[in-house]
Structure 1
Amino acid sequence: KGPNRFLTLRKKSCTDKPRPSMPLPLSQNSIYSIRSLLQRFPVSNKERIDMQPNTRSGMSVSSESEGGCDRASGRLNNGIPTVPKRRSPSDLDTFRQSLPVHERQEEIIRVIRESRVVLVIPQFLLDDCSRKGEPCRIFCTQPRRLAAIAVAERVAAERGETVGQTVGYHIRLESRVSPKTLLTFCTSGVFLRTLMSGDARLTNVTHVIVDEVHERDGLTDFLLTKLRDVLQKIPTLKLILSSAALDVDLFLKYFGSCPIIHLKGRLFEVKELFLEDILRLTGFNNKDMKKYKEETQRKEKKQKNLKEWCEAVESSCVEERRMSPVSVPAFLQDNKPMENDTEQLVPWLLKEMDSCITNIFLNEDQDAFIQLFNLILYENVNVDYRHSDTGSSALMVAAGRGFLPQMEQLLNMGADINLKASNGWTGLDFATHFQQTEAMDLLKSSIPLGEVSSQDESSLVHHHAAEIGPEEQELLKLYHHSFDDDFVDLDLIMDLMHNICSTTSEGALLVFLPGYDDIVSLRDRLLYDDKRFSSHSDRFQVFTLHSDMQTLDQRKAMKPSPPRIRKIILSTNIAETSITINDVIFVIDSGKVKEKSFDTLSHVSMLKTVWISKASALQRKGRAGRCRPGICFHLFSRLRFSNMLEFQVPQLLRMPLQELCLQTKLLAPSSCPVADFLSKAPQPPSAHAIRNAVQMLKTIDAMDQNEDLTDLGYHLADLPVEPHLGKMVLCAVVLKCLDPILTIACTLAYRDPFILPAQGGQKKAAIECRKRFTANTFSDHMALLRAFQAWQKARSDGWERSFCEKNFLSQATMDMILGMRTQLLGQLRAIGFVRARGGSDIRDVNLNSENWSVVKAALVAGMYPNLVHVNQETSQPSSYREKKVHFHPSSILNQSQLKENGPSRSPPQALPTDWLIYDEMSRGHRMASVRCCSMVTPITVAIFGGCAKLPSSALQEPSAPRDSFQENSDSETEELSEFSLDDWLIFQLDSEAAGAVFELRQKWQNLFIKRIRCPSKPWTQQDEAIIRTLVSVLGAEEQGAGLLQPTGIGQRPRPIASEDDSQAFLKNSKSSPQPPSNTSNDRSCRMPASSSLLQMKALYPPSSSNSSCSVSLDPSAPSSSGKISKPPSSQPAFPSVRHFIMKSSSVRNIEISQQKGIWSTTPSNEGKLTKAFLENNVIILIFSVQGSGHFQGYARMTSIISQESCQDWGFMGLGVVFSVEWIHRESVPFLCTQHILNTWNDNKKVQISRDGQELEPQAGSQLLSLWEGNSAAQ
């Protein structure tokens, strides 16, 4: 007491919280499988030693490794400098000599000769060396593949050569070089991989030219960091930096006082028009702009009404509100709605919705939510309905009152977080104003990634009103209140393009768009949707340009268009500087670009659409004046342009650093820490970001504790995905389940293909669609995989556009995932993990692709440490750092999606296991939510989670002998061993099981290390036995947990088509998924007799229908005429027994059909089956689960299609039900049907059929006879 009193403050550590119990149940069958393996192949002493954390032989690079640092693929050839031959005359000589840069050739050569670094033309160097007889060897880096190819082809053409002689190019997985090549254009990545072999690779290089330095991509900045060190070691090396819009002062400071050469380009005058000019020119006026005009007069009254609401709530204390309702403001007494958000609503619905929102906000009446949810769910009221007098939505008032369960339900129903009330407040603003901190956290954590944008244009106009005229101010204000700045206004672009094409007769048009999604959307409008263009398609050529296109397709965009045909190029920022299209006269600049940014705290990567810099805007403008005066249309105001950044933020400051840290260890001296090397960059990343990246690489075993690369780390540096996804892919190679993981990894690397629509009613349908793709597997990753597989099937059938629209998928995203997938598989082949034939060929690495439990094991290996544990006692999900974790509304594991009974706050007791993995976590102030989750079993986490090497102390036996425990002990864990993967993952399990799991884990980790170190070594019997045991154990535990094993997940993807093929697909695709009509060939229509078919004969005798071919069910009965009349060539012959293939998305649907005697098919098939049934035909339906490799039986259709639907089907898009009678339920493998061809499907094998495909009668009878043969044999 007294002066000796003191106060102790402690910061609560995340590890101080009580550790939940983490049981690891294991079935006796699994223990037996593990023991059987260990008896045959016990863990050796060497394996135990290698798995100790303090040894370097287990994971670090060893002498046995195949190549070590020299194995990096995609390196430049190691030639010597020679004197280049003189250039040959070419058709481009006159053009070259007319360029301004040609006049300063001597000056440029002199400066390069006199300086080590020149801040600025490779051809000049070749000519100079040729003229003076001096040897040279030049590398020129480009930030993009297309630029390297295009520039190489142009320079070769100017020298009168073909590519691959003096001038060549080298990009990943593609090169055109020879021993004679002295000037090589390459990507920054290829040049970096060359440097990974050592600085000595540049001793024979005379000049390095780094082009497009101003783009400040991560690899270029990284390359400059390395080259500055190399210049000190190789005195003969010259470095030339080339840029169109460079921050000169920064690089002068970085490289010292190097000379600068300013070269003026030959540009014609380019007229600039900004947004206000474009709106005036086109008279653009969308429906929202008209609506805003009408609402302007009402808005002030709405704001006044909402202000009364807020004052009424603020002036009443909590106790008063509980005792008596807040008095209703006067403006609510007249019951006359000022405006309907949904014009179709009948008056009583308007009155009910307004009443509910009023009672919730003013009276804290939570019961009003019951009526509100009923109206939304069953009366088709928009979840974003806004009160007719205040403009406030249900989410806003719930946030203002802090009603969290109801907020979660509204978000799950698709409520718009960014919706604004009449006073401009969003739901977050309501929560902030009324100090509802938990509601604030919930809303912040639910904001979709990338939607936190900078200052919007409407606020710019408001704050800088004095800088623009009243007419422009009113025009911009009207436009920005009707359109969201975060998106690109394709409607305005279409109007502008129509204006250009109708007022001018020639000149190519270049449109800059932020990403491939926008490119595809605009292309589809041009080719199909907008009749102003689609009805005159012969007058236009539409090309797309983006960095991941095939190079052959990109070249076509640069060729001149035929006479009287206008070329329209839709491009990302790749056309700013990397390539030049000479005939462009008009440029439309959306002012947006896609940027990948990384949050170092949440470890979440975001692909965001952001405003470009002033430098980029000037570059885009310059594309219009290459051959004649042009016009550039900027889709942003002059005010926005004046507030843009001068230059883009360097990618090094906003990208995930794990990949860069791996490459740092390959480039920097072995004794140099990663942080020290990256600190030398022109603008280095923060030390905190570097430290987090290095720690993550250690966690996934890419680095050891000394920051040295492991064998795994070397391979991860070679893969074009983030390291944790690379590890996932390599685990899939060893586990032999590659195809599904390739698809999932590329989807996670790019973006979620599911689109969340803006309309509240459609949001619910979109969420339900995602749920159906999961096939009841409790896995968002399954939804990604199923969606891709279904899209590929739709693509092969020619209706992918309709499929994507129906299933809320982005066709552009799917295209990109397919391209990335092809590139990643190509890289796996290049580094030896997938071989052309024999062991480890594409079939071998997919032997377990159909096993979902094995696929999830690879997911766990790649996702660790992204794990969430569900506490059995509290049913509360938590992670290592977060005590409470919520599922993001987009996740299938969100409870409102697992249940159908409306809003609920009950704990997640429906989850079948205690563990799940997630892709990313977003945090509010006190709340974390996880996205893209999958439930996994404890044994999967125990074997595939954690670091590869664990100390022997990781397995702790019970502290006392088994017989020493008291009989009256109330502890359930005293007799359990503890198995620790890290400070948080500590499992409790029986001692016998603990030892078995620990040794099986050692076996797996040893096998993985061995395969990573030497992927070309043949598999041993022990290796194969380990994989078989893992498959057995994982499958048994999944089954024990009640997790479903879906079918068809291992189906091989179809090969990628070229851009031309995709264009043809798009031109032939329709708005509805109608399959192409069948054509027939003349075949005999005879059918073998069987008990089943004779039974059908009695029920359905042959009819005298209009069919031109009748069939006798008795093979001994001759036909009446002795021959069959030929049907018209344009129509198939329809016998009285007709066979249709029914494709099912899951085995579960087949089981439901067999149990209930019903079936449903797609609406496009319903009409065909109904017509056939009403013609008194016997309709045989032959069933096959997609990807199963079997026909699952056949049934007879016994009723017409009813008006009832079945809610149990695991696939959206199925129509109403009809009755079927199952005849055979045995499976027939496709291997037995290889000889049966369907002439009504281009003579394809019967198993290669789309859903609803009809079989030619003889093919149908042959197929059915296989079941009869099986029955006879039995």
Structure 2
Amino acid sequence: NRYIPNIYTIIYDAITGRPYRPLSEHQALHLSARLQDQWEQADPGLHLALPVDAHRQRVIAAVASSRVVVVAGETGCGKTTRIPRFLLEEHVRGGVGAHCNVLVTQPRRISAVSVAHRVAQELGPALKHCVGYQVRLESRPPAHSGGSMLFLTVGVLLKKLQSNPHLEGISHVVVDEVHERDINTDLLLALLRSCLKENPHLRVLLMSATGDNHRLAHYFGDCPIVRVPGFMHPVQDRYLEDVLRDMGRPSVDVRVRSDGASLDHHLVADVIEHIDRHGEPGAVLCFLPGWQDIRSVQENLESRTRFSSGSQMIVPLHSSLSVADQQVVFQRPPEGRRKIVLATNIAETSITIDDIVHVVDAGTHKEHSYDPHTKVSCLDTVWISRSNVTQRKGRAGRCQPGHSYHLFTRRQMEALMPFPVPEILRTPLESLIMQAKIHSPNSKAVDFLSQVLDSPLKEAVRDGVQSLQDIGVLDKEESLTPLGRRVAFMSCDPRLGKLLVLSSVFRCVLPLLSVAACLTRDPFHNSLQNRALVKKAKETVSGSSYSDYLIFSRIIQTWRKVQHEGNRYQRDKFLEEHILSRSSLRFINGLISQFSENLCEAELVSRGSECQSPESVYNTHSEQDELLKAVLLAGLYPNLIQVMKGSVLKGRFRPNSVSLRTASGQVLLHRSSVNRGQEKLPSRWLTFFGAVKSSGMVFIRDSSVVHPLALLLLTDCDLTETGTFSSLDQLQLFMFNYNSIRITLTRIYPQLLLFSP
């Protein structure tokens, strides 16, 4: 009957996901003996010798003597695949395998899945049931708990900590690639320190290829550091000046890249073509900042005669692709064809594409930053750090000698930062604070986040708390409100979580599930080249809705119908006509299912599957567009835009144009929004999800027109509408409608009283 400080009432097994039941002494002895027999009969060998093999006993001894160990393993040493196996094998062969369950975190889905496959393959058919993986939207856990390894993303482990806060039943947590310092990993490290106090059987291994390992060890009480040398085949470096010389280009091009982190897609394609013409056989891995860069370089290559016939195997690799689509990068090309992988930093760590010989490093990546004064996020293309350069170069020397083509100069290399800035210091903190409240409900956000490795500024934490109080998920004492306790179940941004909760209250779940999923992953095949086509496709779906969000809903519902009723030709035609990404739609469909289950976990619906049935009671009002837009307002508020007549452009007042203002200042609608350029909107209020800053201006990517009545009914907005009522009769009619609708809402939806401020 002990108190569990989270949103769940029972403990779940972190390996299988089923309710946790500790083994009795008799069960543990029986399972340990069975595991020992299985391993002795299978006797799995090490198919390929790796540098870490010679340090096996050092690692095991360090783990036995210290509950936390930092493993500083150089690139290519084999730490990711071998060390979890060493831990499990030591326990199984020692007759205590039933007490060994190893969780191994990876920063990305592709690495968790690919490493699990590799370890299972090395163990062989008789033991592969001991290995599993779990990533977002896909789970293949081990056959049973006890003598098992589970590879999973950091986000999935954080979710498991909600239902098993002390990781009972887990013997080891291996945090791989800890040097990347993403916001989830920093939170996990803080929670693991608490787990170590509460769970005396738990041991933690922190594995890093680069990074400040002494600082990491100090964070865990000056724990020991085990250094494992790596092995990397020789890799020849070529910097921009060398590359241009080899291509016969004038060195003046070097100055083009000296001022900022902009990327010349034509130059990247030229370098890849140069490698294809003159480089030795082997695959090419090109690091690019984002999806639009990948698409642009791919289209640039495919437009060239050398690549237009499909003579080469060009493979994109991005986090938005499904796990199945990501696995294509590991396939060998047919004889006579060269594989060219165009990837973001998703390919930087943990995965081995074993036929890579050439690496093209653009030297940049996408990075979020946050301005606490304007409350606007920026997604900018910025220079990587020197540790990133080392990791990227290492992809070419894993299995054979290679070449690394750096598209920046030696002088630029010297100017790069040694390590990347931790994500926690440059992003909004609302989601992190919500996680903190779930795991440590009695702590103030500032106090909890002061315990992480790099504490964010107190001002940034206070801004995050205020934002969560504004949307009603935290009260003045920073405790989760009744609404907040339900939003805590949602695997998404807190505002989208609130939107999903309200969708169940107002019985319009399915369209808003689609909206939340599309705001997590864009369904359109966006690129610089087809931006106009995407805008046109949106306009054909929009009608007179004046809402980017209803476009998302209509697109997804029509696609699902075509998937169910249409043939292959009709499905392909629909995707082509609406410029939709097949892989993104698959991912969105998985998100819709996940969010549906979240609503069930929060006890807002009886079954998750009913959320996706148009005939369900939870979709009674799903066809009412004005209601949908009102619920969107309630979920996204106070993200509100006021449309004002008249604007100043180039120093002149333009009375017929409009200006847009939020509480933080003037904004512009992004060119991708259907409301961009609309001369006359049906209301002077818009709601929106997020803003981005670019070239000194704040852009709203998507928006939805809001009726003033929705503002009065569903927000605490201090609204003044002038010139609306031409007579006392009109005003009385408006007030009658307002009061009657308010009474009707509270009568039909008593749950509203639960969430009212």
TM range (shorter): 0.7 to 0.9
Q: How does 1:1115-1126 map to 2 (within 5 A)?
A: none
Task: Confirm or deny: 8 A CA contact 1:596 1:605 kept in the other structure.
Answer: yes
Q: Which residue, out of 813, 825, 831, partners 2:592?
A: 825
Q: Which residue of 2 aligns with 1:697?
A: 468
State the AA in 2 paired with 1:702. V
- Aligned-partner Cα distance in 2 for 1:122–1:930: 46
- Aligned-partner Cα distance in 2 for 1:923–1:522: 25
| Counterparts in 2 of 1:562 and 1:171: CA distance versus 1, 3 Å | same
- Aligned-partner Cα distance in 2 for 1:206–1:674: 29
Is 1:170 the counterpart of 2:140? The answer is: no
Q: Deviations over 1:89-147 (max 9, x none)?
A: 88983544x21111111111111111121111111112222333234222211122222
TM-score (norm 1): 0.50
State the AA in 1 paired with 2:107. P
Task: Confirm or deny: 8 A CA contact 1:791 1:803 kept in the other structure.
Answer: no
Is 1:636 the counterpart of 2:601? The answer is: no
Q: Deviations over 1:821-858 (max 9, x none)?
A: 22321213333248476687354244544332122122
Q: Deviations over 1:412-437 (max 9, x none)?
A: xxxxxxxxxxxxxxxxxxxxxxxxxx
Q: Which residue of 2 aligns with 1:3?
A: none
Task: Give the superposition deviation at 1:919.
Answer: 3.4
Is 1:775 the counterpart of 2:726? The answer is: no
Classify the secondary structure of the residue corresponding to 2:281: coil
Q: Which residue, out of 93, 100, 103, partners 2:51?
A: 100
Task: Give the superposition deviation at 1:209.
Answer: 0.9
Gap runs ≥5 in structure 2: 72-82, 563-567, 647-654, 720-724
| Counterparts in 2 of 1:248 and 1:938: CA distance versus 1, 3 Å | same
State the AA in 1 paired with 2:177. E
Task: Confirm or deny: 8 A CA contact 2:709 2:738 kept in the other structure.
Answer: no
Q: Deviations over 1:363-409 (max 9, x none)?
A: xxxxxxxxxxxxxxxxxxxxxxxxxxxxxxxxxxxxxxxxxxxxxxx
Q: Which residue of 2 aligns with 1:194?
A: 160
Q: Which residue of 2 aligns with 1:490?
A: 265
- Aligned-partner Cα distance in 2 for 1:891–1:136: 52
- Aligned-partner Cα distance in 1 for 2:376–2:662: 17
Q: Which residue of 1 aligns with 2:678?
A: 898
| Counterparts in 2 of 1:765 and 1:499: CA distance versus 1, 3 Å | closer
Task: Give the superposition deviation at 1:861.
Answer: 1.6
Classify the secondary structure of the residue corresponding to 2:368: strand
Q: Which residue of 1 aligns with 2:64?
A: 113
Q: How does 1:1180-1259 map to 2 (within 5 A)?
A: none
Classify the secondary structure of the residue corresponding to 1:235: coil
Task: Confirm or deny: 8 A CA contact 1:918 1:934 kept in the other structure.
Answer: yes
| Counterparts in 2 of 1:532 and 1:139: CA distance versus 1, 3 Å | same
Q: Which residue, out of 88, 107, 117, partners 1:126?
A: 88
Q: Which residue of 1 aligns with 2:121?
A: 157
Q: Deviations over 1:638-685 (max 9, x none)?
A: 2222121211111112233221112111211x3211221111000011
Q: Which residue of 2 aligns with 1:260?
A: 225
Q: Is the strand fraction higher in 1 or 2?
A: 2
Is 1:864 the counterpart of 2:634? The answer is: no
- Aligned-partner Cα distance in 2 for 1:138–1:934: 47
- Aligned-partner Cα distance in 1 for 2:142–2:729: 64
| Counterparts in 2 of 1:791 and 1:168: CA distance versus 1, 3 Å | closer
| Counterparts in 2 of 1:505 and 1:168: CA distance versus 1, 3 Å | same
| Counterparts in 2 of 1:544 and 1:718: CA distance versus 1, 3 Å | farther
Q: How does 1:826-975 map to 2 (within 5 A)?
A: 826-831=593-598, 832=600, 833=605, 835=607, 841-844=613-616, 845-869=618-642, 881=663, 885=666, 887-888=668-669, 890=671, 897-899=677-679, 910-920=680-690, 932-946=702-716
- Aligned-partner Cα distance in 1 for 2:404–2:142: 38
| Counterparts in 2 of 1:622 and 1:779: CA distance versus 1, 3 Å | same
- Aligned-partner Cα distance in 2 for 1:122–1:926: 48
State the AA in 2 paired with 1:226. L
Q: Which residue of 1 aligns with 2:8?
A: 69
- Aligned-partner Cα distance in 2 for 1:881–1:988: 31
Task: Confirm or deny: 8 A CA contact 1:917 1:935 kept in the other structure.
Answer: yes
Task: Give the superposition deviation at 1:514.
Answer: 2.1
Is 1:530 the counterpart of 2:268? The answer is: no
- Aligned-partner Cα distance in 2 for 1:169–1:767: 39
- Aligned-partner Cα distance in 2 for 1:993–1:851: 18
Classify the secondary structure of the residue corresponding to 1:857: helix
Task: Confirm or deny: 8 A CA contact 1:743 1:817 kept in the other structure.
Answer: no
Q: How does 1:567-586 map to 2 (within 5 A)?
A: 567-586=339-358
Q: Which residue of 2 aligns with 1:279?
A: 244
Q: Which residue of 2 aligns with 1:213?
A: 178
Q: Which residue, out of 503, 509, 534, partners 2:278?
A: 503
Greater C-alpha Rg: 1
TM-score (norm 2): 0.80
State the AA in 2 paired with 1:655. T
- Aligned-partner Cα distance in 2 for 1:72–1:697: 28
Task: Confirm or deny: 8 A CA contact 1:891 1:933 kept in the other structure.
Answer: no
Q: Which residue of 2 aligns with 1:1107?
A: none
| Counterparts in 2 of 1:488 and 1:163: CA distance versus 1, 3 Å | farther
- Aligned-partner Cα distance in 1 for 2:45–2:152: 25
Q: % of aligned pairs identical?
A: 32
Task: Give the superposition deviation at 1:745.
Answer: 3.1
Task: Give the superposition deviation at 1:940.
Answer: 1.6
| Counterparts in 2 of 1:754 and 1:605: CA distance versus 1, 3 Å | farther
| Counterparts in 2 of 1:679 and 1:247: CA distance versus 1, 3 Å | same
| Counterparts in 2 of 1:773 and 1:635: CA distance versus 1, 3 Å | farther
State the AA in 2 paired with 1:264. P
Task: Confirm or deny: 8 A CA contact 1:729 1:858 kept in the other structure.
Answer: no
Q: Which residue of 2 aligns with 1:136?
A: 100
- Aligned-partner Cα distance in 1 for 2:104–2:687: 43
Task: Confirm or deny: 8 A CA contact 1:885 1:930 kept in the other structure.
Answer: no
| Counterparts in 2 of 1:933 and 1:891: CA distance versus 1, 3 Å | farther
- Aligned-partner Cα distance in 2 for 1:976–1:673: 51
| Counterparts in 2 of 1:847 and 1:163: CA distance versus 1, 3 Å | farther
Q: How does 1:278-427 map to 2 (within 5 A)?
A: 278-284=243-249
Q: Which residue, out of 504, 507, 520, partners 2:295?
A: 520
- Aligned-partner Cα distance in 2 for 1:485–1:796: 45
State the AA in 2 paired with 1:184. L
State the AA in 1 paired with 2:594. Q
- Aligned-partner Cα distance in 1 for 2:732–2:414: 62
Task: Give the superposition deviation at 1:210.
Answer: 0.7
Q: Which stretch of the first structure deviates more once superposed, 87-96 or 679-688?
A: 87-96
Task: Give the superposition deviation at 1:512.
Answer: 1.8
Task: Confirm or deny: 8 A CA contact 2:510 2:611 kept in the other structure.
Answer: no
State the AA in 2 paired with 1:825. I
Task: Confirm or deny: 8 A CA contact 1:702 1:712 kept in the other structure.
Answer: yes
- Aligned-partner Cα distance in 1 for 2:459–2:471: 19
- Aligned-partner Cα distance in 2 for 1:282–1:891: 38
Classify the secondary structure of the residue corresponding to 1:193: helix
Task: Give the superposition deviation at 1:997.
Answer: 4.0
Task: Confirm or deny: 8 A CA contact 2:42 2:127 kept in the other structure.
Answer: no
Q: Which residue, out of 675, 688, 701, partners 2:459?
A: 688
- Aligned-partner Cα distance in 1 for 2:160–2:684: 47
Task: Confirm or deny: 8 A CA contact 1:149 1:185 kept in the other structure.
Answer: yes
Is 1:594 the counterpart of 2:362? The answer is: no
Q: Which residue of 1 aligns with 2:149?
A: 183
Q: Which stretch of the first structure deviates more once superposed, 838-847 or 252-261?
A: 838-847
Q: How does 1:1031-1070 map to 2 (within 5 A)?
A: none
| Counterparts in 2 of 1:592 and 1:752: CA distance versus 1, 3 Å | farther
Task: Confirm or deny: 8 A CA contact 2:507 2:621 kept in the other structure.
Answer: yes
Q: Deviations over 1:176-218 (max 9, x none)?
A: 222255222222122212221353433x322211111011111
| Counterparts in 2 of 1:665 and 1:105: CA distance versus 1, 3 Å | same
State the AA in 2 paired with 1:651. E
Q: Which residue of 1 aligns with 2:649?
A: none
Q: How does 1:520-669 map to 2 (within 5 A)?
A: 520-526=295-301, 528-535=302-309, 537=310, 539-668=311-440
Q: Which residue of 1 aligns with 2:744?
A: 1000
Classify the secondary structure of the residue corresponding to 1:209: strand
